[in-house]
Amino acid sequence: MMRKEVSSELLDPWYHRVLRGAAGHRGGKLHGNKPQRRTVYIICAAVAVCTLIVFGVSNPIDRKPVSAAASVKKAVQAKTASRVATKAAADSEAPASPEEVKRLLKEIDANMQEVLNSNPKFTKFGPRIKDWDQRRAIAKANLKKAADSAGNDTSTTEEADHHQSSKAAPPRILLVTSSHPNSCSNKQGDQMLLKAIKNKVDYCRLHGIEIYYNMDKMDDEMTIWWVKVFLTHMLMLKHPEVDWIWWMDSDAVFTDMSFELPFEKYANYNMVVHGWENSLYEKRSWLALNAGVFILRNCQWSMDLLHAWAPMSPVGPIRDAIGPLLSQALPDRPQGQADDQSALVYLMITDREKWGSKIYLESSYYFQGYWRILTEKFEDMMAKYKPGLYGDDRWPFVTHFCGCEFCEGVLNPEYTPEQCITQMERAINFADNQVISRYGFKHPTLETASVQPIINHSPKSKAVAHH
């Protein structure tokens, strides 16, 4: 059951609302009348800002000696920063026209290319593949032929064959997630990650989805946020039989174990992320989408996107130089190293026809929803609604614990570790009830990991028990 898309203001994640200076909506329903506005509250823009700071301008671990291109980088930054600062002052009085924005982005893009060209060429993905769709078709045909000759039952009747071929085959999906290779430094981090991956395994098992869980340090330069791009390219290349790669951050969990992605809705698109078109193309906000959860079609377009996205990732001079350029292109972005989300937004606004036209910005359901506006309402959801129908605030599909930093990193100061752990436990148990109820068990409350048998008090069950 799909509903008409709701406004970005209603489905906005907390950090998006805060950085835009919008009112926080603590109550109301996404599916009903416009919720009552309450006092603007500051949840601290900081999970996004602090993450960039901690892993950006002040992280000595990721730093490398400055290359010979440093002088070019500094000159580019100073030149563009001065121009943009002057323009920003003017823009505070009068919005920039589309032509002015276009010129500004063109200048920034020229500087971006200058940085990339003055540093070692990105070669981690190997030679650019230009015939991936053809290679995939051949690989899939060979795999099918091998499967057919591996002892499959050849006595299938013609009628059964016709019945099978008349049904559209569901897309083959590979869900990918990743966590730190070492033990977590934060309290209970390992336990939370274990529960989060168990949640993903449960969902995949119920829906016939394959899963790849990474705990290895795959590359020395594509670190932190950028590991998702490395893994996506690697798995896409090695699994041509897969139709979609589904990335999920380790701190995102399924909370509707029956809801399924409406792939028919995305027939004309190659990527889906949670986001809003107006915030992206009109406001150029780096928070117009959330790259913590996305699906990417295994096709030539996606291969080209990864080759355009990844060169901004190498830690050191490239990431340091491109970060400020992204901040100049995206007005609300804080200073810091280049991150994957800002880079994706940048690609979309600088070449909307090539990239943006094939990326679906989903906001009609919680492709990923912010935990603080969802987890305390679970009991009310269970009393009023059922899973598998909505995916929105009536029963959210995915709940994202952004800012909790269960394993490593700086916790958002707006809330405590205890709050994060308690609400994550509630979300996990909320989802787990939907799994173990199939076997006759449930959690007596969402606060406890213990379970108890489900007692059916219906007359029919009593009669069966008596018999």
Q: Total structural domains in the chain?
A: 1
pLDDT of residue 311: 96
Question: Which pTM does this prediction carry?
Answer: 0.79
Q: What DSSP letter does each residue of 342-366 carry, written as one string?
A: HHHHHHHHH-TTTTGGGEEEE-SS-
Residue 67 belongs to a domain: no
pLDDT of residue 199: 98
Unique residue bearing structure tokens 């100061």: 413
pLDDT of residue 277: 96
pLDDT of residue 460: 53
pLDDT of residue 151: 64
Question: Are 125 and 232 within 8 A, CB to CB?
Answer: no
Q: Angle at the Cα of 194 (from 398 to 223), degrees rounded to 5?
A: 80
Residue 104 belongs to a domain: no
pLDDT along the chain (467 residues), means of 10: 41 38 33 34 39 41 37 43 42 71 96 96 93 95 86 47 58 95 88 96 98 92 90 96 97 98 97 97 96 98 97 95 97 96 98 98 96 96 97 97 85 85 97 97 96 77 43
Residue 214 belongs to a domain: yes
Quick one: the chain helix, strand, coil %, rounded to 5?
45, 10, 45
Residue 449 belongs to a domain: no
Residue 356 belongs to a domain: yes
Question: Are 226 and 365 within 8 A, CB to CB?
Answer: no
Question: H or E segment at 174?
Answer: strand 173-178
The contacts of residue 188 (CB under 8 Å, 6+ apart) are 406, 417, 421
pLDDT of residue 386: 96
Using alpha carbons, select from 117, 115, 30 the residue that is nearest to residue 324: 115
Task: Tell me the residue range of the domain where 368 lies.
Answer: 132-140+169-439
Residue 343 belongs to a domain: yes
Beta-strand ranges (E) seen in 244-370 are 244-248, 252-254, 271-275, 289-297, 359-362, 369-370
Residue 244 belongs to a domain: yes
**Residue 308, domain CATH:** 3.90.550.10
Q: In whole angstroms, what is the distance from residue 139 CA to residue 142 CA?
A: 5
pLDDT of residue 146: 87
Residue 37 belongs to a domain: no
